[in-house]
Amino acid sequence: MDRFGPDLETERPPAAYLRMPHVERGMVVGLFGGSFNPPHEGHALVAEIAIRRLGLDQLWWMVTPGNPLKSKRHLKSLRERIILSEAIAKDPKIRVTAFEAELGVSYTAHTLKWVKLRNPHVHFVWIMGADSLAGFHRWQRWQEIAQTFPIAVIDRPGSTLSYLSSRMAKTFGFARVDEDDAAVLWKKKAPAWTFIHGPRSQLSSTAIRNGFLEK
């Protein structure tokens, strides 16, 4: 069924995507945020690995209004990125959402603070690809993010050693959880993080955009 209805060409996403997904007390929920411009099978692989290795009840595929650290010049509309995300987010545990657009916030630290406030009886894990770990220290209030929820870093091509070399890894080296204990990461009090190895996709949004732009 088409969730977008007859107004497919309008820019505003359906209201359901602008609300925080429903959760139940005690659930374990992964938060996987990004501009997804465009989303691709590499993102789907990260989500799949996170769901399986972390024992998630849900994964929120959080399509953001835009990344403050990236140019918005070639940013597709929020609605289009949601549609594309729904097309590849096949696992029934995935909830594609864009609730950050309604919050009016631009930074992950603000979002996570709000999520925690609204859902005190839910266990959240922040999920990121290893390619984001190298520059994580440039995110606004990045140390606060690390101290809000446990973090699972999923391996990405060319970024396997980021768990050793990144500023975040060095700053919070004491809080690293063994990969074999990833399934209980949600039980750990932040700061706590783990690096999960697994299959890797060579796809990237940047490469896909460049390919589109060259045509």
Q: What is the mean pLDDT of each run of 10 residues along the chain (215 residues)?
A: 47 92 98 95 95 98 79 83 96 97 88 97 96 90 98 80 81 96 98 85 45 41
**What is the model's pLDDT at position 95?**
98
CB atoms within 10 A of CB 169: 21
161 — phi, psi (to 5°)?
-85, 5
pTM of the model: 0.86
**What is the model's pLDDT at position 3?**
57
Where are the chain's structural domains? 26-198
CATH of 26-198, one of 1.25.40.420, 3.40.50.620, 3.40.50.300, 3.40.1110.10: 3.40.50.620
Burial readout 78-105 (b: 16 or more C-beta within 10 A, e: otherwise): bbbbbbbbbebbeeebbbbbbbbbeeeb
